[in-house]
Structure 1
Amino acid sequence: MLHNKKRLTFTLSAVALAAMSASPAHSAVVASIKPLGFIAAAIADGITPVEVLLPDGASEHDYALRPSDVKRIKNADLVVWTGPEMEAFLTKSAAELPASKNLEIAGLPEVKPLLIRGGEEEDEHEHDHDHHAGSEKSEEQDTSHTHHHHGEFNMHLWMSPEIAKQSAVAIHGKLLELMPQSKAKLDANLQQFEAELADADKHIGAQLAPVRNKGYFVFHDAYSYFEKHYGLSPLGHFTVNPEIQPGAQRLHQIRTQLVEQKAVCVFAEPQFRPAVIDAVSRGTSVRKGTLDPLGMGISLTKDSYVKFLSQLSSQYASCLNGA
């Protein structure tokens, strides 16, 4: 009899475990890209897990969702993303979510006044002409990219400390609606995030002040918010879409400015190490650096967004200072 009881208990436990593994984990915040995951992790710390869709090394410009990603989005308590102009891969899945579970940063009323105009369409068309005018394929690629990813504004919003703060407030608000029982912890997390961000902002301002007037080129147009916030002096970027190589005319312009010593540094990115940067800087005294716009190698913790900004600042400072 006892043996049967044990067997029954074991069978019930097995059934319960099977049921648990069959139903996907529910209470999670899903962020489209790592930097938004960093902000979410600060607010959700100790309350609910945070996951990121975009794996390290992938580009937000051309990612395609896997079936497992679609499942994670459907089962998430909250999905945090920039908006359809940046993560086109999320537009369809996000549209199917209830408003309470869908947080589009670019659509926040507090963020809209902070958006920087991209001027990216003209730039993209300029690249069209640079890109063998007769090549239908490259023009088609450029046009579709303009259409999908680059509209009126620059969408690399996570580069702005001010927009990061507004994003944290919005994530706090959404999680408070979903988990009112966690109000005290959510409030404390937001307060801590804002204090650490203000502190890091001061340190970064001091670190970058000596290099404010030094000219440089970045690989793609991802850094405007950071550069404007800290008063840096970019001379331009190689390309708007990292997937499309800049045309000959653009490279000639950059090369001329490098030769005339208008730039002290050119920056590549971890996901894109294009030969064009080596080619264009060959024979000049310009230094080469790397900027990481997505925080590869930084793990999700409550202070990871501050780490991300500080890492970016150090990457700028070391190349521009010649350290």
Structure 2
Amino acid sequence: MSKKIGHGHARGHGHDLPQLYEKLRLISICRLGHICRLYSLIFMFMMTFRVCISLFLVLFVVTFFSSCKREDEPRPLSRSVVVSIAPYKFFVEEIAGNTIDVDLMVPTGGSPHSYEPTTRQILATSKADIWFQIGESFEARAFQALKSYNPEMEVIDMRKGIDLIDEKGHVHCHHHNCKDPHIWLSPRLVKKQAEVIAATLSQHYPEHAERYEKSLRKFQQKLDGLDVQIGSIVQQAKSRSFLVSHPAYAYFCRDYGLMQLSIEFEGKEPTPQHLTEVLNRAREMGAKVVFIQAQHLSKGARLVAEELDAEVVELDPLDENYFENMLHIAKSIAAQ
């Protein structure tokens, strides 16, 4: 039986051979089809990759050359200006409104007498068309750095045409030929400076010249009103002299017939000799208040206040809210 079974099995295989060959042929064809499809996918991927690379190169070249400017191509107006301190930001915005952006160099709380701009700040302000300066030492150094980025920037010296006050024995003498730079603390001088601001803006942005002229007239009228208010306030002051840690109010005093006595000496803490002189003069004028400035913290001022048993009052001549701040200064001086 085993043989019969064996022969029967052999004959069965013999009959199945054609079918087996057919299956193998079909399997080979299927595999060949898969291989062809695989090669097709690889080919399509390679072609897509080449197309992507080509598009990337085209975009890179276009972007690169579009970002490059010819040397003779004029620089487009950035419609932004730089000011050194906050009050001038207020002045420019009063005239220009929203027609330009105004960048502030010395941040809130900083002192223009000791400030040094950072590289990031230099880069941030490098596209400005104009810089309105007040004669601080940092301005010249910063402008030298800015010139390499923007040689077309125009610098406007706001002191030009103003009767500047000599200030011997002060820190500004060393850098500015003994001229007091605090010219914004006189509304009368701000009126003149406003004309310079309006004229400069009109020259750079002539399409807004009419608007600037109208804004200038309104601003000057407001300054006239402020001048009258301050004059009326200080007229009621019991004393025409006042004691300060930092001598920022020379132009204010000239306008309104006042006198400031500075504790600071040559931009530094007072020497023993100067401190003695200040105390003697302060007692003679009956000083009951010592006005200090947040940007100039003075140990000497605190010492003088203790010796005189005087009140310490902080004023901020760099406040951006110009009208409100000037009235606050006037009222504080009158109330001492």
Same structural fold, with TM-score higher than 0.5 when normalized by the shorter chain: yes
% of aligned pairs identical? 26
Amino acid at match of 1:104: D
- Please report how far the alpha carbon of residue 95 of structure 1 lies from its aligned counterpart in structure 2 after TM superposition: 6.5
- Aligned mate of 2:182, from 139, 143, 156: 156
Q: Which runs of 5+ in 2 are unaligned?
A: 1-58, 68-75
1:217 and 1:263 in contact (8 A); partners too: yes
Task: Tell me: CA distance 1:189–1:100, structure 2 relative to 1, closer, same or farther (3 Å).
Answer: farther
Task: Tell me: CA distance 1:103–1:249, structure 2 relative to 1, closer, same or farther (3 Å).
Answer: same
1:215 and 1:265 in contact (8 A); partners too: no
Cα deviations by residue, 1:106-146 (Å, 9 ceiling, x for unpaired):
2x2x32xx21122x2xx25xxxxxxxxxxxxxxxxx7xx74
2:103 and 2:125 in contact (8 A); partners too: no
- Please report how far the alpha carbon of residue 281 of structure 1 lies from its aligned counterpart in structure 2 after TM superposition: 2.4
Q: How does 1:1-323 map to 2 (within 5 A)?
A: 26-84=78-136, 87-93=139-145, 101-106=154-159, 108=160, 110-111=161-162, 114-118=163-167, 120=168, 123-124=169-170, 146-148=173-175, 150-211=176-237, 213-234=239-260, 236-242=261-267, 244-260=268-284, 262-295=286-319, 298=320, 304-318=321-335, 320=336
SS at match of 1:290: strand
- Please report how far the alpha carbon of residue 289 of structure 1 lies from its aligned counterpart in structure 2 after TM superposition: 1.9
- Please report how far the alpha carbon of residue 89 of structure 1 lies from its aligned counterpart in structure 2 after TM superposition: 4.2
Select the structure of larger CA radius of gyration.
2
Which range is displaced more, 80-89 or 33-42?
A: 80-89
TM-score normalised to structure 2 length: 0.70
Task: Tell me: CA distance 1:241–1:25, structure 2 relative to 1, closer, same or farther (3 Å).
Answer: farther
- Please report how far the alpha carbon of residue 152 of structure 1 lies from its aligned counterpart in structure 2 after TM superposition: 3.1
- Please report how far the alpha carbon of residue 151 of structure 1 lies from its aligned counterpart in structure 2 after TM superposition: 1.6
Cα deviations by residue, 1:207-245 (Å, 9 ceiling, x for unpaired):
1111163432111121100111111132x2012554x21
- Please report how far the alpha carbon of residue 85 of structure 1 lies from its aligned counterpart in structure 2 after TM superposition: 5.1
The CA distance in 2 between the partners of 1:240 and 1:151, in whole Å, is: 16
2:263 and 2:275 in contact (8 A); partners too: yes
CA-based RMSD = 3.1
Q: Which runs of 5+ in 1 are unaligned?
A: 1-11, 125-141, 299-303
Task: Tell me: CA distance 1:165–1:47, structure 2 relative to 1, closer, same or farther (3 Å).
Answer: same
Task: Tell me: CA distance 1:210–1:240, structure 2 relative to 1, closer, same or farther (3 Å).
Answer: same
Select the structure with the greater relative contact order (CA < 8 A; seq sep ≥ 6): 1
Query: Number of aligned pairs?
Result: 267
2:132 and 2:156 in contact (8 A); partners too: yes
Task: Tell me: CA distance 1:240–1:186, structure 2 relative to 1, closer, same or farther (3 Å).
Answer: farther
Amino acid at match of 1:253: E
